[in-house]
Amino acid sequence: MDSISVPPLHEAYEMLLSKTRNSNGENGFDDDQVLVEEEIELPVINMNHLAESDEVRRQECKYAIAKASQEWGFFEIVKHGISNDVFSGLRVEQENIFKQPFEKKRKENKFFNFYRWGAPTATCIRQLSWSEAFHIPLTDILGSSGSNTFSSTIQQFATQVSILAKTLADILAEKMGHKSSFFQENCLLSSCYIRLNRYPPCPLNSEVHGLMPHTDSSFLTILHQDQVRGLQIVKDGKWVAVKPNPDALVIIIGDLFQAWSNEVYKSVEHRVVTNPKSERFSMAYFFCRLMIQ
Ligand SMILES: O=C(O)CCC(=O)C(=O)O
Ligand SMILES: [Fe+2]
């Protein structure tokens, strides 16, 4: 990994880390587990069943989506219709933009509305995020001319993933007794965005988070993660690691869906832990607000 592209996380956090080391003893961390042993497999839903001619199979699939959203707030979908070529193309572009020099990323936000590195507001170790991210509004993506490979690749992904998000949201709406085209009709496209994440290897301490614990504020999030482990969720009150599945996309129910469904669907806390050796990439699509909110 070329070091010129990596944000100065070490320097930025050195003070915070040494302060904590001094006041908390040896390594500066308390007992709350960050390293977890247990690795789970999320419920896996085959989206092909939605296209079956058999109405019973279609309904079973919708039921499984609603059940996973209630009981887990997290699940995986396979046979979702977005081809591996789209993800591998986007991955190449994602690596290219992150591998630009840090100063360039920080200063030049031509296409990207927002570049974040680290955790600018962190006041303690728990709140550190050993990562960087580009936050790209859907309107910028769909409105761009698609004239370079990055914008055409991300446009292709955004178009397909938006359809998927609406399909899932509409199934969840239907199961709550709403019209089955509710989100199709009411989603505010301009509120949706894509976030590209990079987690550089963290040589410091495995208890520094790659991304600190949070819930997503979206209706739902569609996440594509690579093969490097790191994602963890809270299940039955404890942190468990999510095993990467190369064929699946991870669906995360967000705060808006939890509120809108009167807490029927669960927005679950999750985080990313760091890896001392391997860098990790992920991309997330956030399906956000309604026109009528
Ligand atoms: O990188 C990941 O696996 C999770 C990313 C995430 O939770 C987020 O961007 O909100
Ligand atoms: Fe998240």
211 close to ligand 1 (CB < 6 Angstrom): yes
Q: Would you state the pLDDT for residue 26?
A: 45
Query: Would 292 be classed as within a structural domain?
Result: no
272 close to ligand 1 (CB < 6 Angstrom): yes
| CA 266–ligand 2 middle distance (angstroms) | 14
Q: Name the residue type at position 163.
A: I
Does the ipTM surpass 0.90?
yes
Q: Would you state the pLDDT for residue 130?
A: 94
CB 183 within 8 A of CB 163: no
Residue at token pair 């490979």 = 149
| CA 203–ligand 2 middle distance (angstroms) | 23
Q: Would you state the pLDDT for residue 25?
A: 47
Pick the catalytic residue from 58, 116, 271, 280: 280
Q: Would you state the pLDDT for residue 249?
A: 98
Q: What residues contact 160, with CB distance under 8 A and at least 6 apart?
A: 81, 82, 86
Q: What residues contact 243, with CB distance under 8 A and at least 6 apart?
A: 39, 40, 41, 229
Ligand 1 pocket test, pick from 223, 227, 255 with the greatest ligand atom count within 8 Å of Cβ, gives 223
Q: Would you state the pLDDT for residue 74?
A: 98
Q: What is the pTM of this model?
A: 0.92
Query: Would 19 be classed as within a structural domain?
Result: yes
284 close to ligand 1 (CB < 6 Angstrom): yes
| CA 282–ligand 1 middle distance (angstroms) | 7
Residues with CB under 5 A from ligand 2 (ion): 216
Rounded distance between C-alpha atoms, residue 207 and residue 255, angstroms: 26
Residue ranges making up the domain that contains 197: 3-287
Ligand 1 atom nearest to 195, measured from its CA: 9
Ligand 1 atom nearest to 216, measured from its CA: 10
Q: What is the CATH number of the domain that holds 165?
A: 2.60.120.330
216 close to ligand 1 (CB < 6 Angstrom): yes
Query: Would 293 be classed as within a structural domain?
Result: no
Q: Would you state the pLDDT for residue 289?
A: 77
Helix intervals (H) in the chain: 9-24, 55-71, 84-98, 102-107, 138-143, 149-175, 182-186, 255-260
Residue at token pair 């009150």 = 237
- Catalytic residue check, 195: no
| CA 254–ligand 2 middle distance (angstroms) | 8
242 close to ligand 1 (CB < 6 Angstrom): no
What tens-digit pLDDT sequence spans the chain (293 residues)? 567 899 988 888 887 777 766 555 444 444 454 566 789 999 999 999 999 999 999 999 999 999 999 999 999 999 999 999 999 999 999 999 999 999 988 887 655 568 999 988 888 877 889 999 999 998 888 887 777 888 889 999 999 999 999 999 999 999 999 998 888 888 888 889 999 999 999 987 677 899 999 999 999 999 999 999 999 999 999 999 999 999 999 999 999 999 999 999 999 999 999 999 999 999 999 998 777 65
Report the number of distinct structural domains present in the chain: 1
Of 106, 192, 110, the C-alpha closest to 151 is 110
Q: Whose CA is nearest to atom 3 of ligand 1?
A: 231
Query: Would 186 be classed as within a structural domain?
Result: yes
